[in-house]
Amino acid sequence: MQSDFPQSEFLAICPDPVIAVNHEGIITTFNPAAERLLAYSAEGVLGQMSIFQLYPSEEEARAIMRLMLSEHGCIEGYETTVIASDGRAVPIRLSAALLEGQSKGSIGFFHDMTQQKRLEKSLKHLSITDDLSGLFNQRYFYEQLGKEMARARRYGNQLGLVCIDLDGFKRVNDLLGHLEGDKVVRLIGELLRNGLRDSDQAFRYGGDEFMVLLPDTSPEHAEVLADRLRKTFNAECLLSPEYSNETDVVVSMSMGLAASRGEEPVDRLIQRADMAMYAAKQSGGNCGMQFQGASE
């Protein structure tokens, strides 16, 4: 039965971008939603522009075509990127079908995934971040440590692991209150985020314990870095003077370092960094970093 609603009207009201091409890949349909998504006018692309120009590479366009042919002329939910006229890369989910085999070209529905990708990114960020310090959390620490150990093993680089534990933190909470304690945790977060190279990563491991991963770093360089962090912390960690004068509350850092070329179990490296930190604490805390050499 013939619909009395013209096809062009369907395309005009369709909220998803619809793009059809002929057998050479030249665009033959470009609905208003496609114009909005890609910032091209239909007039400018119809009969002139190749679909290949919308993808980041010709290989990607060919891969989509090959996939359609191998999937009996139809693909659904394929995630890729298209490039808008202003150069923006737009994430999309593509459903497409060949029109009567390949001879008449194909038609695709380009669902915009920008919002969903943004949401996924912020959920991922939440799932790996510690709220209070703004550093990565413990779960992510284990994930990254495993990866960095594998990288160190593959390339024979030295991986440094610094374990930091606060000295006297309980007294901050007990005498000045938890809000003042929280401020200290936030300060460490800031300090570690600003004081490290892009390739380094800092994590809140537990209450007042932090870990720093230093890929491709010698123990000597790790020591210099740790000493700088400790001194900055001492200079900036000024507890509320009206209280600290009275109660003489001092908080500082104990640090331990272990270095590895990735040839031991992950837990062993953590244990060595932890032991080095404990040795620093035993010698009074707030001192130069202790180093636990590799067991091999």
Ligand X SMILES: Nc1nc2c(ncn2[C@@H]2O[C@H](COP(=O)(O)OP(=O)(O)OP(=O)(O)O)[C@@H](O)[C@H]2O)c(=O)[nH]1
Sign of CA dihedral 213, 218, 219, 223: negative
Rounded Cα distance between 68 and 99, Å, is 11
CB atoms within 10 A of CB 226: 24
The residue from 88, 178, 193, 231 that contacts ligand X (CB under 6 A) is 178
* Range list of β-strands (E), 89-142: 89-98, 106-112
The residues with which 166 forms a beta bridge, in sequence order, are 253
Is 112 a known active-site residue? no
The residue from 35, 71, 182, 227 that contacts ligand X (CB under 6 A) is 182
Q: Select which of 165, 167, 200, 208 is catalytic.
A: 208
168 binds ligand X, rule: CB under 6 A: yes
Closer CB to ligand X, 15 or 207, in the complex: 207
**C-alpha 156, offset from chain centre:** 25
185 binds ligand X, rule: CB under 6 A: yes
Least distance (Å) between residue 281 CB and ligand X: 6
Are residues 219 and 207 in contact, defined by beta-carbon separation less than 8 angstroms?
Answer: no
273 binds ligand X, rule: CB under 6 A: no
The residue from 80, 157, 173, 232 that contacts ligand X (CB under 6 A) is 173
256 binds ligand X, rule: CB under 6 A: no
Closer CB to ligand X, 50 or 234, in the complex: 234
Site for ligand X in 82-121 (CB under 6 A): none
Structure tokens belonging to residue 111: 């669902």
Are residues 50 and 25 in contact, defined by beta-carbon separation less than 8 angstroms?
Answer: yes
**Footprint of ligand X on this chain (CB under 6 A)?**
132, 165-171, 173, 178, 181-182, 185, 207-208, 281
